[in-house]
Structure 1
Amino acid sequence: MPQNTELEKKLEKKAEKEDRQKKNLTVFGQETEFDGELEFTDNLVITGKFSGKINATGNLEIDKTALCNVESIKVNSLVISGKVKGNIEAKERVEMCSGSSVAGDVVTGRIRIADNVDFEGSVKMIQDPPEVDLFSVASDEFKQALLIKSDLPH
């Protein structure tokens, strides 16, 4: 049974990666200054200056040359190499690369903070609930459902 689960996970990750690659990529250049509210469903890279609010279902990358002063950022995943001031919520993951600066609270499913990151704020981890109804299954089945959802070897 665990082998099928691992195979399913690998196939799911491959499909997600292919979906990301199929999405359009938009880049705000280094000379771009944007002030307002952004919404997008694909991939966005900010290399310039942004002020305001981001509420998107896509993936965001903040380049090492970028300065973002936000009310909030809500995206699927976020990679930060530049400077961000404001609260962040990423459904899938947040990655803070070496040399980045983040001042704000982070809510995410996964987080990676590299060495040499200036981070001031709190982190709250979110988890998707298991797809099993807690009250309709035996405890052993529920435990197995939790193990399947986790990244821990089982």
Structure 2
Amino acid sequence: MKKKNKRPSHRTDTLIGPGSEVEGVLQCEDNLRIDGRFNGSIESQGCVTIGENAVARSSISAREVIVAGKIYGDVTAENKLTITPTGQMYGDVCANSLVIMEGGLLHGASVMEHQAANAAPSESTETPLPLQRPEAG
């Protein structure tokens, strides 16, 4: 009998440990945890976790990203980006969901898009409502 797991798995499939320094392009199908230093680009089908003492000078594209250390670069998260109380993010973010815990830092622009928002804007039937301002009295 197959077990259906709808919740994201946070097990670590690939680890760049403390004291390690890696440079280049990293592509992985599963989860990745960085506790050392990484310079380059990361593409993952799973969750990318940047540990508390980690530094990533990197553009990251993943299903989910958790920042507990420092990222210098842009992040695209298909589902969710979480910046923990020790996390520092210096770059732009595009995610379906953005969580910044108290103490976390985001220095950059953020864009939140729902997966259904991939349709062309011309197909939308909604018209934007004008802003209403109370009259000064």
- Interval containing the TM-score (normalised by the shorter chain): 0.7 to 0.9
Q: Does 1:116 align with 2:106?
A: no
Distance change (3 Å), C-alpha of 1:45 and 1:24: closer
Match of 1:49 in 2: 37
Q: Percentage identity across aligned positions? A: 25
Match of 2:50 in 1: 62
Quick one: which of 78, 81, 93 aligns to 1:94?
81
In 2, distance between residues paired with 1:96 and 1:24? 18
Q: Which residue matches 1:26?
A: 14
Q: Which has the higher strand share?
A: 2
Q: Quote the Cα distance in structure 2 between the aligned partners of 1:16 and 1:49.
A: 31
Task: Give the TM-score normalised by the residue count of structure 1.
Answer: 0.69
1:24 Cα deviation from its structure 2 partner = 5.9
Change (3 A) 1:67 1:24: closer
Number of residues of Structure 1 aligned to a counterpart in Structure 2? 115
Structure 1: tracts of 5 or more residues without a match: 1-13, 131-138, 140-154
Distance 1:52 1:89 in 2: 15
8 Å contact from structure 2 (residues 39, 56) kept in 1 = yes
Give the structure 2 partner of residue 74 of structure 1.
61
Task: Measure, in 2, the Cα distance between the counterparts of 1:110 and 1:60.
Answer: 15
Higher helix content, 1 or 2: 1
Residue correspondence of structure 1 range 118-137 to structure 2 within 5 A? 118-129=105-116
**Structure 1 residues 31 and 88 mapped into 2: Cα distance closer, same or farther (>3 Å)?**
same
Runs of 4+, deviation exceeding 4 Å: none
Using the TM superposition, give the Cα deviation of residue 56 of structure 1 relative to its aligned residue in structure 2, in angstroms: 1.8
Q: CA deviation at 1:112?
A: 0.4
Q: Which amino acid aligns with 1:86?
A: G
| Aligned counterparts of 2:12 and 2:81: Cα–Cα separation in 1 | 20
Cα RMSD over matched residues? Answer: 1.9
SS at 2:5 equivalent: helix
